[in-house]
Amino acid sequence: MNTKKVLEEAKELDKKYNIFITINENFDGKFPLAVKDNICTKDILTTAGSKILHNYYPVFDATAIEKLKKRGAGIIGKTVMDEFGFGTFSTNCAYKIPKNPHDPKRCCGGSSGGSAAYIAASKYAEFAIGQSTGGSITCPAAFCGVVGLTPTYGLVSRYGLIDYANSLDKIGVLAKSVEKASSCLQMIIGHDSKDSTSVKKKQGIQKKKITIGIPKEYFANVDKRIVVQVMKYVKKLEKDGFKVKKISLPHTKYAVPAYYIIALSEASTNLAKFCGLRYGLSYSSEEKGFNEYFSEVRTAGFGEEAKRRIILGTYVRMAGYRDQYYLKALKVRTLIIRDFKEAFKKVDVLIAPSMPMIAPKFSEIEKLTSLQQYTSDILTVAPNLAGIPQLSIPCGFVDKMPIGMQILGDYFREDDIIAVGKQVEKYG
């Protein structure tokens, strides 16, 4: 690996597409690894896309990064993301906004937009590390025309991840191919004593014949051209011997409100530690009480969307509203999990569009309300609430922009979705 050429390419791509928050001038390794900026990297600036962490240099590597370094990875840089993962289009970063390599007037998707853009544009990088809370790997993978692999919750250690929502966050992979995504995943899985939610992979028996489920709810309110394209690939799979069944996931319509109540409740708690005392943004605290100092730091350090989500999350956790909103959202989550469990009794994988639209133009995003942006996640939040694995794979183009097909599997059945993904990949 010519480290000089890799570094030169990274700088050139950053100029064109705003991919990196930080480029590692000391890059050295057998292969380049771009890392989403909410994952800790020793001695390399890690901001989570926020001004409040503008000067945070971790003294340790996240477990996933440590494992990849042992395999020869060299960190080329930390990629642009929505602040703390708060967004669908990577337009909420405090430093810059990444541009889609297929059309710089369009977004990359969020919140792992920079990682997806780097894989789409780089000649040297085969995979990058991203993170998903409600679809933050699937969305940019679809918009940028790359493969996005989000594993079962707990399969990859979260140690070293700057949390958005602990019960939802998953570290995963963006890659040029299904094989490369699978290879990277194998390098980072495994139980970690530093993360109580991490698990040993449960080995299932590889099925000889895989049955595909088509959930009707995931094809409603989706650009019809995307539906047509996804179904073309489903018909090809059916022609090649895969059995296809139509199924229903009836509680999908409640996924977005349940997701945002749960995720923002957890986020408001997680972000309380960013108060300007231990690390990150700070000011002179002379002659100031804690509340005044705390407010001053967070007012300056957090962006508009982060403030909105902190306030919403705090509101639904307040006495009097916890029962009315938060506990009801947890009950809805249980119903969504049951939907998937029932579905996987009938089929082995589910196939649906990754996103309901192609990557929107920045001029279009500016006109969207916060609620409209939140509902863009309708196809990705339910699988994340359930914690099941997802694979987004390119399946053609609409208006010269890539679109994605997502393949969903049962818990710890990454092998099933990868097998179907490899077959889809053969169709070109």
The catalytic site residues sit at 36, 111, 136
- Give the span between the Cα atoms of 161 and 159, in whole angstroms: 6
Helix 178-188 to helix 414-426 angle (10° resolution) is 160
Beta bridge partners of residue 353, listed in sequence order: 405
Q: What CA–CA distance (Å, rounded) separates 365 from 350?
A: 29
Determine the angle formed by the axes of helices 327-346 and 255-270, rounding to 10 degrees. Answer: 130
- Report which of 17, 89, 118, 87 is spatially closest to residue 360, judged by C-alpha positions: 89
**Which sign does the torsion angle of CA 81, 82, 87, 88 carry?**
negative
Look at residues 255, 225, 207 and name the one whose alpha carbon lies nearest to residue 420. Answer: 207
Residue 83: CA atoms inside 13 Å, Cβ hemisphere, count? 22
Contact in structure between 93 and 82 (CB atoms under 8 Å): yes
* Type of residue at 334: T
Cα 353 from Cα 356, distance rounded (Å): 7
Angle, alpha carbons 230-233-237 (nearest 5°): 140
Contacts of 397 (CB under 8 A, 6+ apart): 403
Pairing of β 147-150 and β 211-215: unpaired
In 20-173, alpha helices (H): 63-70, 113-121, 138-144
Q: How many residues does the chain have?
A: 428
Residues 6+ apart with CB under 8 A from 229: 395, 396, 398, 403
